[in-house]
């Protein structure tokens, strides 16, 4: 099973927020604006239904509608990756079938959550699910939410399972990256991307393929430029752009200091920028006026219009 895009996939892949009007209604106009915004900013693919997309809080109806509309709006201009993570094996496969039906290019999966899996169980799970998988698959290491990590040796073994083509790592652990990269040194075709944008430049400088960065929802060009500078080892440019990324991380993502502050801040900023609604799926709520004012001030201090 080969992807219809070049491997390894390189660059910036925004994990799209899911624009909502209420708990079970998409902000369709906002979704279209968001997709146009990030594609025009030069991103290299789209990732739907990840952590930033609030997948675990969304109904299957909304997930299916999001996949259908996003593929429609993307119009084949960039690859579309769809998160199919679920605690139920069958639901992950159902979502993968929908993704294939609507024209997505690949799917992305975390370890099943709730019960913690051992490494042999994780590998068996991947082997079994790939027997019925209609699309190429990226594994997604997200230990803070799934309670289990894909061990480096498990990643290397997974790379030999037909149809598994890459990995997104959100552990924020560069030592882990080094171990996985070393074990994959004979697999230059296997995509290896990082989630936390604060270390994307370092990751690319060390040989990683790019970033799945939430901030690229707001400022796609900034993150694409940072990737290009790191890939070219243009250190003065890396340091200049990385400063902006850290400014975003320490202001927009830290209002209120909730566990959900990153996503609340990101969605609020997109609303302030006029791109999409900031409604949050339950159990979370959007920021109120005092917090929104903090986000507005943070965007002004960023001189955000210069980043578009």
pLDDT, tens digit, 9 for 90 and up, residues 272-286: 999 999 999 999 999
Using an 8 Å Cβ cutoff, are 20 and 27 in contact? yes
Share of the chain above pLDDT 90, in %: 91
**Residues 207-216: b if buried by 16+ CB within 10 A, e if exposed:** ebbbbbbbbb
CA distances (Å), origin 171, targets 48, 114, 117, 206 = 19, 18, 17, 16
pLDDT of residue 144: 82
12-16, 70-74, 115-119, 235-239: the lowest-pLDDT one: 115-119
- Tell me: pLDDT of 1 over 80: no
Reported as a single tens digit per residue, the pLDDT across 121-171 is 999 999 999 999 999 999 999 988 888 999 999 999 999 999 999 999 999
Average pLDDT of the residues in 9-28 = 98
- Tell me: pLDDT of 64 over 80: yes
Q: Is the dihedral angle over the CA atoms 95, 96, 99, 101 positive or is it negative?
A: negative
CB atoms within 10 A of CB 205: 14
Average pLDDT of the residues in 236-250 = 97
pLDDT of residue 78: 98
Contact residues for 12 (Cβ-Cβ < 8 A; gap 6+): 42, 43, 44, 210, 211, 213, 216, 220, 223, 224, 227
CA distances (Å), origin 262, targets 54, 197, 201, 218, 244 = 12, 12, 20, 13, 16
pLDDT of residue 170: 94
- What is the model's pTM? 0.95
The three-class DSSP label of residue 154 is helix
Sheet with strand 80-83: strands edge to edge:
11-12, 210-211, 191-194, 164-169, 137-141, 106-109, 80-83, 46-48
pLDDT of residue 4: 84
Reported as a single tens digit per residue, the pLDDT across 190-205 is 999 999 999 999 999 9
């Amino acid at each position: 099973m080969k992807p219809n895009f070049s491997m390894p996939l390189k660059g910036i892949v925004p994990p799209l927020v899911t624009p909502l009007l209420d708990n079970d209604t998409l902000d369709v106009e906002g979704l279209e604006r968001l997709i146009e915004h990030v594609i025009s900013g030069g991103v290299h693919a789209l990732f739907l239904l990840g952590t930033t997309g609030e997948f675990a809080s969304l109904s299957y109806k909304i997930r299916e509608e999001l996949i259908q509309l996003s593929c429609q709006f993307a119009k084949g201009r960039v690859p579309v990756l769809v998160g199919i993570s679920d605690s139920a094996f069958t639901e992950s496969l159902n979502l993968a079938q929908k993704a294939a039906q609507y024209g997505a290019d690949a799917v992305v999966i975390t370890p099943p959550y709730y019960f913690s899996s051992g490494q042999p169980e994780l590998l068996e799970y991947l082997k079994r699910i790939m027997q019925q998988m209609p699309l190429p698959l990226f594994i997604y290491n997200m230990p803070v939410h799934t309670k289990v990590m894909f061990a480096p040796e498990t990643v290397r073994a997974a790379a030999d399972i037909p149809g598994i083509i890459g990995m997104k790592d959100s552990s924020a652990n560069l030592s882990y990256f080094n171990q996985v990269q070393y074990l994959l040194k004979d697999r230059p075709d296997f995509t290896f991307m990082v989630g936390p944008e604060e270390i994307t430049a370092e990751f690319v400088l060390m040989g990683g393929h790019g970033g799945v960065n939430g901030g690229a929802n707001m400022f796609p060009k900034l993150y694409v430029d940072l990737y290009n500078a790191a890939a070219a080892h243009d250190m003065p440019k890396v340091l200049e752009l990385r400063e902006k990324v850290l400014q975003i991380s320490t202001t927009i993502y830290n209002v209120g200091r909730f566990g959900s502050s990153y996503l609340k801040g990101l969605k609020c900023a997109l609303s302030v920028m006029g791109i999409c609604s900031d409604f949050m799926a339950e159990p979370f709520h959007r920021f109120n006026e005092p917090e929104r004012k903090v986000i507005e001030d943070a965007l002004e201090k960023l001189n955000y219009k210069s980043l578009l």
